[in-house]
Amino acid sequence: MTFINRRALGMIVASSLAALTANTALAQDKKVIAVSIPAATHGWTGGVVYHAEQAEKEIEAAFPNIDVIVKTSPSATAQVSALEDLAAAQTLDALVILPFTSEELTGPVEQVKANGTFIAVVDRGLTDPSIQDLYVAGDNIAVGANTAKWLADKLGNEGKVVVLRGIPTVIDDERIQGFTDVMSGTNIEILDIQYANWNQDEAFTLMQDYLAKYPQIDAVWANDDDMLLGVLEAVKQSGRTEIKYALGGNGMKDVIEMVMANDPVTPISTPYPPSMIKTAIYMVAGQFTGQAPMRGSFKLDAPLITPENADQFYFPDSPF
Amino acid sequence: MTFINRRALGMIVASSLAALTANTALAQDKKVIAVSIPAATHGWTGGVVYHAEQAEKEIEAAFPNIDVIVKTSPSATAQVSALEDLAAAQTLDALVILPFTSEELTGPVEQVKANGTFIAVVDRGLTDPSIQDLYVAGDNIAVGANTAKWLADKLGNEGKVVVLRGIPTVIDDERIQGFTDVMSGTNIEILDIQYANWNQDEAFTLMQDYLAKYPQIDAVWANDDDMLLGVLEAVKQSGRTEIKYALGGNGMKDVIEMVMANDPVTPISTPYPPSMIKTAIYMVAGQFTGQAPMRGSFKLDAPLITPENADQFYFPDSPF
């Protein structure tokens, strides 16, 4: 049996009691951060759910005075109801929201705001930006432009490329604009740009069309890592070997694994990370735990993900 | 004497040992965040030092795997040396820096970056922004514009105001631009705009000049809370009573106390908070403790500080 003298024991008990008292005091003044996000309907939103739940665990472990509540919703209508329920059940110090749609969520978020709740909006903006205290979003122009700069350099500003578009949205427009603006300053020819709706199967079919139509393709920009997987499968089945690079975007786990493995065709990606939900939750926690000023607009860069830094963008347990 | 049974004692000892072991494991993989800031040469930088030291305590308590090292420097030359010393003494995972001057610090920060260190720049930008991973700064145009909107509304878009400028810099230019752009859309006349170098005594003298020169002044915008204190003293000594509002900017503690007390002449301020150093330290901690993406540019808003929200901007123990 371990011998412990009475004085040491007294110190342990006293410090345990002090810790208990401190916890009780903190519990009375807990700050509640509600997180409202779409349910995991596809790869990227699956990543959002994963990172929101990780952030909940990490923030609650680090800051005992903060309670994070994550609520997922399968539709815009469900998200509106979820906001009503969250606000009815407790006083919300902060709401972190990735809105299903800007139109349907703006009014309900404004109502939450009216109670004095700090509002952090992620990715998709509200139709009235004055409602938000904090806005966190990626830079889609940079996703396209940084990929284009890397590719133009590798191709020596010469060659023929094909491009896939996502769903017609501002996000897609910005990515394409960033890419084509850079390419217009080179001798690289963009053979074709067609929509494949950020869908892996549609990207597979579109890439088959491109392969049939164009006998020489030096590189493919799939604009998105889900679509990239479809593109790579079509290239593989075609047996074509002249395609030097096939690049996507978003930083999907499968693609980052290719980057880490120094894949010759896909040696880079650019992040538009679902973990930006975590960015917002950490920032709001800083506002409420340390009064660190977090009102403003945070635009995430889209730095190239390379074999050297890929580990910083890699979450082996995430679905995305 | 408190009675503790053997089993309970065993549990306390075991959990203490487990805590010790966990701390040792974490210590082997500690992430080092160095913070390099100007020494407390005036009120605002005094606030920067206070908030950096608070952030160090809070972050280290919350995240046992993070070590924050705060280093203050009395000059640009000293800050260059401090960077060399910091980088020589240990591997820096991140550097948070508020540079004395952009010109003298850009090269030395680039050298730190070359070792793979994550670079967060606060307030004053480097001459080459591509060096930074994260940039955190206030919005000086909004400081001027938000104050002007509030004032124009209170004056019913009519009246005569005088304005004080700081030191000729981009910061001062932007504040004045934000203020005058809004005022140009009203019938308010700006009687005079002169420099007082963000100095309380010079602001006192300049305000005495304004009072002698202009028989009717409806409001004063001092542009900065240090200068506001000089303005208020000059108004007080003059015995003039027609001045409805005297406003500053930055969110100095003394002025936030006036706002909290519903002062009729100074009922608002706008923040350009020295606590933005804390914002950057919390964000970098999120990058290294939870891989939350923190590369990008965060522009802090300048929301009005009012009696309703003043407590969120108030740090009773800070020198500023």
Residue B255 in this model has a pLDDT that exceeds 70? yes
Distance CA B229, CA B56 (A): 31
Residue B21 in this model has a pLDDT that exceeds 50? no
Residue A291 has its nearest CB partner, among B298, B299, B312, at B312
In CATH terms, are A26-138+274-300 and A140-260 the same topology?
yes
Backbone angles phi, psi at B145, to 5 degrees: -70, -45
Interchain pair B4, A16: CB under 8 A: no
Measured between CA atoms, how close is B195 to chain A, in angstroms? 29
Tell me what pLDDT residue A238 has: 97
Residue B250 in this model has a pLDDT that exceeds 80? yes
Task: Give SS3 for B8.
Answer: helix
CB atoms closer than 10 angstroms to residue A194: 14
Over residues B244-271, mean pLDDT: 95
Q: What percent of chain A has pLDDT over 70?
A: 91
Long-range contacts, B104-109 (Cβ 8 Å, 24+): B104/B76, B104/B77, B104/B79, B104/B80, B105/B76, B105/B79, B105/B80, B106/B131, B108/B79, B108/B80, B108/B83, B108/B84, B109/B83
Over residues A236-259, mean pLDDT: 96
User: Roughly what angle, to the nearest 10 degrees, separates helices A43-62 and A276-290?
Assistant: 20
In which band, very low, low, confident or very high, does the pLDDT at A168 lie, cut at 50, 70 and 90? confident
A69-107 tens-digit pLDDT: 999 999 999 999 999 999 999 999 999 999 988 889 999
Tell me what pLDDT residue B17 has: 41
State the architecture of B28-138+274-300 in CATH terms.
3-Layer(aba) Sandwich (3.40)
Residue B4 has its nearest CB partner, among A13, A289, A298, at A13
How high is the ipTM of this complex? 0.83
Distance CA A137, CA A297 (A): 8
Tell me what pLDDT residue B181 has: 97
Interchain pair A293, B273: CB under 8 A: yes
Residue B55 has its nearest CB partner, among A54, A290, A296, at A290
**CA-nearest residue of chain B to A271?**
B293
Q: Where are the domains of chain B?
A: 28-138+274-300, 140-260
Instruction: Tell me which residues of chain B, numbers 113 to 152, contact chain A at a CB-CB cutoff of 8 Å.
Output: 133, 139
Distance CA B111, CA B133 (A): 14
What CATH class is the domain A26-138+274-300? alpha beta
Superfamily assignment of B140-260 in CATH? Response regulator (3.40.50.2300)
Residue A22 in this model has a pLDDT that exceeds 50? no
Distance CA A62, CA A208 (A): 50
* Alpha helices (H) along B214-313: 225-238, 253-260, 276-290
Closest listed residue to residue A270, CA positions, set A180, A177, A175, A190: A175
Measured between CA atoms, how close is B297 to chain A, in angstroms? 5
Q: Which of B1, B279, B305, B306 to mutate to test the interface with A (most CBs of A within 10 A)?
A: B279
Backbone angles phi, psi at B219, to 5 degrees: -160, 155
Distance CA B234, CA B242 (A): 14
Tell me what pLDDT residue B83 has: 97
Name the residue with higher pLDDT: A320 or B215: B215
Single-letter amino acid, residue B200: Q
B139-197 tens-digit pLDDT: 999 999 999 999 999 999 999 999 999 988 888 999 999 999 999 999 999 999 999 99
Instruction: Tell me which residues of chain B, numbers 58 to 77, contact chain A at a CB-CB cutoff of 8 Å.
Output: 58, 62-63
Sequence-distant (6+) residues with CB within 8 A of B276 are A293, B122, B123, B136, B137, B138, B300
Interchain pair B286, A283: CB under 8 A: yes
Q: Which of A253, A276, A291, A317 to mutate to test the interface with B (most CBs of B within 10 A)?
A: A291
In which band, very low, low, confident or very high, does the pLDDT at A41 lie, cut at 50, 70 and 90? confident
Over residues B280-309, mean pLDDT: 95
pLDDT, mean over chain B: 90
Q: Which of B275, B297, B305, B320 to mutate to test the interface with A (most CBs of A within 10 A)?
A: B297
Tokens of B158: 């009519």
In which band, very low, low, confident or very high, does the pLDDT at B4 lie, cut at 50, 70 and 90? very low
Tell me what pLDDT residue B22 has: 42
Cα diameter, chain A: 86
* Alpha helices (H) along chain A: 6-28, 43-62, 76-89, 102-113, 140-154, 170-183, 200-213, 225-238, 253-260, 276-290
Tell me what pLDDT residue B139 has: 93
Tell me what pLDDT residue A14 has: 43
A195 touches chain B (CB under 8 A): no
Tell me what pLDDT residue A24 has: 41
